[in-house]
Each structure stands twice: as structure tokens, then as C-alpha cells.
Amino acid sequence: MADERAADAGIGDHRFVDPALLRRALTHRSAGSPHNERLEFLGDALLNLFVAEQLYQRWPSADEGAMTRARAELVRESTLARIARDLGLGERLTLGPGEMKSGGHRRDSILADAVEAVIAARYLDAGLEACRELVLSWYLPLLDALPPPNRVGKDPKTRLQEWLQARGWPLPAYALLAERGDEHDRIFQVRCTIAQPPLSAEGEGTSRRAAEQSAAEALLAHLA
């Protein structure tokens, strides 16, 4: 993809004094040098700093374990890739011919690396406070949506089990309802049922475990 896709020299409302920094941040190593790997290294550290800072301020009573789990959720590859898609970064990446042909602009790992590189580019271009402002413009909604510290990082099946155990009620039962699709692309449908209160919910996933998690999440929504 061509450099002109980064020629507006900005990310959202954040403009770059040095457009070359943004171009580098959006250049994958497959396109040759200079590319964004060094920026990615720096951006990863800055992102972890800003997220840790927010968690420390928001959760004055949380222990290190809860904050560590929350940070891991917020800075993981899939979260960064979702941010990249929201920003339209995939269409602005400069990729080598092979990555272009294989759809690299849609790949989570490449998108996540680009977000980290953009963070570093913003820091080098405008300083720490401007970089923090950029990151928080993406992350405040995610931070606001976090569950309480004692629930963060726990999967839906664990949360449902703990909710029932805390009340002395029977554990949930999971039943496989259906499988469909090709052997390499299966979809599983599962029902989760609890006896008290009498409720059930269904979920789907690309594995039985994922379908069970989806069903547990749906049932938890009824209990909320």
C-alpha cells in the first residue's frame, strides 16, 4: 500500500509535526526499511505504562494480581487489532507484495503492531502528554467497561460457577445441542442450564469450550 495513505499525517484529531514518523509507524517490515519494529518496541512500553497508570488510579484497593490481569486484557493483541480497525489503520499500512496478497492488512498481529508503533511515533513527535492523550482517547471506553477487580480476567464459566457457589446452589449443566459446518470449520451449539433459579441459555462457538463460555455469558446476562 502506498505512503500517500498516511499523507494526512494524522490519527483522528491528532496531527503529526513530522509525517515521516507516522509513515514509518504504518510501514511493515515486509515493505523494507525503515519499518515499524523499533517503534513497536517503544510503543509497547508506553502503552503498558499508560494502562497501568489508569488502573492504579481507578482501583485504589485492587491488588497487583487484579491489575495485572486487567492490563493483560487491555493490551492483548485482539484488543489492539480492534482499535486498529476502528481507526482504519489496515487500509493505511504499507506492506510488501507478499503481505498485500495474503491480506496482511487484516491480520491481528500486524494491526496490533501498528497501533503500538503509532503510540511511539506520537511520543517522539509530540511528547509524553500528547501520547497519553492519544492512548486514552482509545482506552477510556474500554477502561470504563471493565468488570470489578475481583472479576476481571475470569472467564464466564468460572464467574457463573462462583456466583452459584456463593449462594450454595447447584452447579450448571452444559449440553451439546448441535454441530454443523465442515470438519475444519465446525460450529458448536451448547445449552447451559441452572436449577436455581431455573434458567437456561444457549451459545455458539468454534469449539465446544467456546460454545460453553458463550452460553455461560448469556446466562450471566439474565442474572445481572
6 is written with which cell numbers? 498516511
Catalytic residue chosen out of the listed positions 44, 113, 125, 212? 44
Cβ burial 107-123 (10 Å sphere, 16+ → b, else e): bbebbbbbbbbbbbbbb
Q: Does residue 44 have an active-site annotation?
A: yes
48 within 8 A of 155, measured Cβ to Cβ = no
* The one catalytic residue among 40, 113, 116, 125: 116
Residues 6+ apart with CB under 8 A from 185: 206
Q: Is residue 144 annotated as a catalytic residue, yes or no?
A: no
Question: Under 8 Å CB-to-CB from 47, ≥6 apart: which residues?
Answer: 75, 116, 119, 135
Q: Which residues pair with 192 in a beta bridge?
A: 174, 201
Which triple of cell numbers denotes residue 221?
446476562
Give dist(CA 105, CA 111) in Å, integer: 7
**Alpha helices, DSSP H, located in the chain:** 19-25, 37-58, 64-75, 77-87, 97-101, 108-126, 128-144, 156-166, 208-223
Set of cell numbers at residue 222:
439474565
Which residues are marked as active site? 44, 116
